[in-house]
Structure 1
Amino acid sequence: MVFISIYEIEAAAGTRRSFEGEPIKTSLQFPRSEQTAQGLDPAQVVGVQVRGDSMDGTLADGDWVLVNRAARDPKQEGCFCCW
């Protein structure tokens, strides 16, 4: 099992926030095999809460998402959280 830090910050359009210096609210355990099967480095995965409705239908206000901080290729498909 690996621990994923869940930060007490929100992913939203507007004011920029950084993970550095932000408090960790809690951590969740995920099987290491799930992380490695997806090519993820658990040290680079964090959780944040979605705030706002600009992505309704995909992400709802209040949803929790995992963010892979190592994925920096803007040509990839998906949702992105920029910090």
Structure 2
Amino acid sequence: MDFDIRKIAALAAFDINDADISRFQCDMEEIANMVSELPELDGETPIPDAMELRSDCVQSYPADRSELMKNAPKAVNGCFAVPRTVEY
């Protein structure tokens, strides 16, 4: 299967240099081959134990807010500040 790595990179907003094109081409071909080897399913028969999920448990973390905010690139009024993603 042939992939247009530059187009995929552009759709993903990913900067790619010429030296990495062949490596990504090989990676995409390996992924496609792996997917083509997956078994066909009829969609009606349930898969027993298809996925084991871990149990979630809440644990407290002994840190105060000021210690956690030291990792924030930008904070406003004690909260993490992030770029606006929705324009109105």
Say which structure, 1 or 2, has more relative contact order (CA 8 Å, 6+ apart).
1
Larger radius of gyration: 2
- Tell me the TM-score normalized by structure 2: 0.17
